[in-house]
Amino acid sequence: MSDSTAVIDGERGATLLRELALDLRWSWNHATDEIWNRLEPELWSRSQNPWVVLQTVSRERLRQALADPEFRGRLERLVAVGREAAQAPTWCEECYGNSGLERIGYFSMEFMLSEALPIYAGGLGNVAGDQLKAASDLGVPVIGVSLLYQRGYFHQVIDADGSQQAFFPYNDPGLLPVTALRRADGEWLRLEIPLPGRGLWLRAWQVKVGRRYLYLLDSNDLANDPADRGITGELYGGGSELRLQQELVLGIGGWRLLEMLGLRPEVCHLNEGHAAFAVLERARIFMRENRQPFDVALTTTRAGNVFTTHTAVPAGFDLFAPQLIARHLASYAENELRISLRDLLALGRRDAADDTEPFNMAYLAVRGSGAINGVSRLHGEVSRHIFLPLFPKWPAHEVPIGHVTNGVHMPSWDSSEADELWTATCGKERWLGTVDSLCPAMRAVSDTALWRSRAGSRSRLIEYARSHLAAQLESSGSSAAEVDAARHLFNSDALTLGFARRFATYKRPNLLLHDPERLLRLLSNTQRPVQLILAGKAHPADEPGQALIREWISFVRRDEVRPHAMFLADDDMLMTQYLTQGVDVWINTPRRPWEACGTSGMKVLVNGGLNVSELDGWWAEAYRPEVGWALGDGREHGDDPAWDAAEAARLYELLEGEIIPEFYTRDAQGLPRSWLARVRESMAALTPVYSANRAVRQYLEQCYLPSAEAYRRRAAQGGALGAQLTGKLCVLAQGWPTLRFGSVAVETRDGQHRFSAEIQLGLLSPQALRVELYADSASPHHEEMTRTTGARTGGELYVASVPAARPPEDYTVRIVPALPEGNVPLEAQQILWQR
């Protein structure tokens, strides 16, 4: 081979390596791990970041590796396989290829895709990242939009006093698996959004996630003032004004970026209220292109907006002072949206007339969306009560908020042992389509195979925990003896419990520590040893949460506890992977109903771990006795210390009386048959249901496809239907106060109640409303009453008959808007009751 040929060949090899490193498919498909381990084994082990490896490896080592025919052949095969996978037909194309749905814009403040891209803090990012990966697997056309933070979330160090210290390492874009977006002429793609008295320039980046893309914006542009360059400096950092500016970047800047790229989503998915300003920008662009006023544009475009709320308490929503909104958005409202500031503020208020009420981003998201959901069945119920003030006089169960329970991307969280087991049982493509066939296949797995898989995953967790704890102790100045002892802690055959959550008081992370001496007795039983691994961060401003960490640190540092429990600092995605892959039992103790869903316990399912959890979030709908254990009685008890004590006692009882004995009750072959039966059923019955595969398919079928169709209908012919619907909404608003009930009567005979109601319609036509007979009890009932002749007072007469199985007093008559192409009560909240 000539020197010039060798150079060209080397350049091609480097290009192939870049292609692999910049596609985050490696974060769940580990076929490329050997490539990066070969180039820089120590750096790969520490960073799990192929792009860092590729940017750091010496040119000589790279040249040597590419000169190796075996390495080169493997590299080319991996690239070829990745390209083939990207072009292969997908479940979405095969099932919904003719739906006309081209794009879904998914806006979220954070995405957890890999530790190599630390732009996440916790559960919200976990959901967004896992759903984007599942969209890639299934071919659902999702486009992610978020921010590229210069510091991301904080790193945690536990100091000698047991206190949490927070550090914010810099995210060097050159070492992140991101690519700067450029125009056709090579210029960096930049865009501008307005801030008070100035413009803010934003740079744009692209992240490849298998078949899908995530687009990121950051304000660290030299054209900006120094303070403005820091707007995207830190995830959830700073005060209220900085948060508002970040959300302007995400919503307004994010939608403008998609426009600049020629990517026009039919559906805009708001992952929490942080992204709600996208609602305004989408309407603005529709106004400009179709020469429609704002109210018509909003009515038209909101049909294509989906809002997912993750908040379980009203205090969790972002609220901004009216003066702050005025300063940042008055000009935008008046000059771009052509509405008054007061009208804009009304979109984020319960009471539009209250000038002191803050602007609620969740309210803006509700008023700007055509579909709204919570993230578990219980959270849907909680959310209907939270948003009830926006739907006055409506029954809570009719507040238009459904639920799509979260799921996790199982290929991102399964251990190598679990992956091998699932592949042998269900095939390599098990997560690329529907998952109905997985349950019976997993139920046929042998006890021996299950136990072998669990033993391997647990052993790797123990090795990781020892190494991590040793490094943690060494960095905090512990003695050489303590560091060496950490490298030999724990037994890879012992029952291993795990708890790793954000340390916040409502999660009750110290419930297990309620009786320290009882816990110590439980852990230190020589006949049935138990070991506990803990991890978790508290927000730097959350002093009560940090105090909970100090309590645990004080406990695990006791000499008699040290062999049985450890706290691993700096919980991140990599640590969570090891923990959820290796623990036998995952403990979760939130205060019901404050856990909107919770996904940490879902990650153990694919690995054969079991859950003992409060009946809150996802576990409230997943729990059955044959798949795990439950705390609580399925009701709310607030922050009652007596109830906390009772649940702590119940947790100890479950561990002592059921969980530990079942794990250690072995047959002649040394297998815990009852335990493995529970593991098998949990894996078979729960893993498919609580996967992101199911969640994304559910979003597509229940939210995205209907929303896209509704938007297309309203937007056709320049928004003709949107304008017509807006006109009907105005008529309703003006005429509703003129509605009156006349006489209402009921007659019972022949086993039927016959109701009649006279209605004075005022300024409204009969076509503008529905008169319904309604009963609300253990079995709610409502049906439309029929308009007929015979009114005596000049109004309209409506009648209905129902079986006389219930007393007539159960029923009342009500009037609601009639909007065949609209969404009642989401778009028309009027309701008038007989009594």
pLDDT tens-place string over residues 76-129? 999 999 999 889 999 999 999 999 999 999 999 999 999 999 999 888 999 999
Interior/surface letters 460-484, b for 16+ CB within 10 angstroms, e for the rest: bbbebbbebbbebbeebebeeebbe
| Boundaries of every domain in the chain | 3-87, 98-406+703-711, 492-690, 739-833
Residue 311 and residue 386 in contact, taking contact as beta carbons nearer than 8 Å: yes
Interior/surface letters 111-129, b for 16+ CB within 10 angstroms, e for the rest: bbbbbbbbbbbbbbbbbbb
What pLDDT is attached to residue 238? 85
Nearest to 721 by CA among 820, 817, 816, 818: 820
> By CB neighbour count within 10 A (0-12 exposed, 13-18 middle, 19+ buried), where does 185 fall?
exposed
* φ and ψ at residue 630, rounded to 5 degrees: -125, 145
Separation of alpha carbons 338 and 297, rounded Å: 11
Amino acid at 653: E
Topology at the third CATH level for domain 492-690: Rossmann fold (3.40.50)
Q: Which residues of the chain have pLDDT under 70?
A: 1-10, 777-780, 791
Separation of alpha carbons 605 and 620, rounded Å: 16
Q: How far is CA 757 from CA 132, 491, 819, in A?
A: 52, 75, 21
State the Cα angle at 137 between 131 and 139, rounded to 5°: 95
Nearest to 691 by CA among 426, 456, 495: 426
Question: What is the enclosing helix (H) or strand (E) of 832?
Answer: strand 832-833
What pLDDT is attached to residue 777? 65
- What CATH number labels 739-833? 2.60.40.10
Q: How many residues does the chain have?
A: 835
What's the longest Cα–Cα distance across the chain?
Answer: 103
Share of the chain residues as helix, strand and coil, in percent rounded to the nearest 5? 50, 20, 35
What pLDDT is attached to residue 10? 66
Please list, in sequence order, all residues whose beta carbon lies within 8 angstroms of the beta carbon of residue 444, skipping any fewer than 6 positions away: 425
What pLDDT is attached to residue 787? 87
To the nearest 10 degrees (0 to 180), the angle between helices 322-331 and 240-248 is: 30
What pLDDT is attached to residue 3? 46
Residue 812 and residue 774 in contact, taking contact as beta carbons nearer than 8 Å: yes
β-bridge partners, 157? 165
Structure tokens that stand for 574 in this block: 């990599």
Same fold, 98-406+703-711 and 739-833: no
Nearest to 452 by CA among 416, 477, 427: 416
To the nearest 10 degrees (0 to 180), the angle between helices 59-67 and 3-21 is: 100
What pLDDT is attached to residue 154? 86
What digits encode the pLDDT tens for the residues 656-679?
999 999 999 999 999 999 999 999
* φ and ψ at residue 120, rounded to 5 degrees: -140, 160
For 98-406+703-711, give the CATH class. alpha beta
Instruction: For residue 825, say if its preceding peptide bond is cis, omega within 30 degrees of 0.
Output: yes
Separation of alpha carbons 192 and 199, rounded Å: 6
Separation of alpha carbons 430 and 688, rounded Å: 10
Structure tokens that stand for 78 in this block: 């991996």
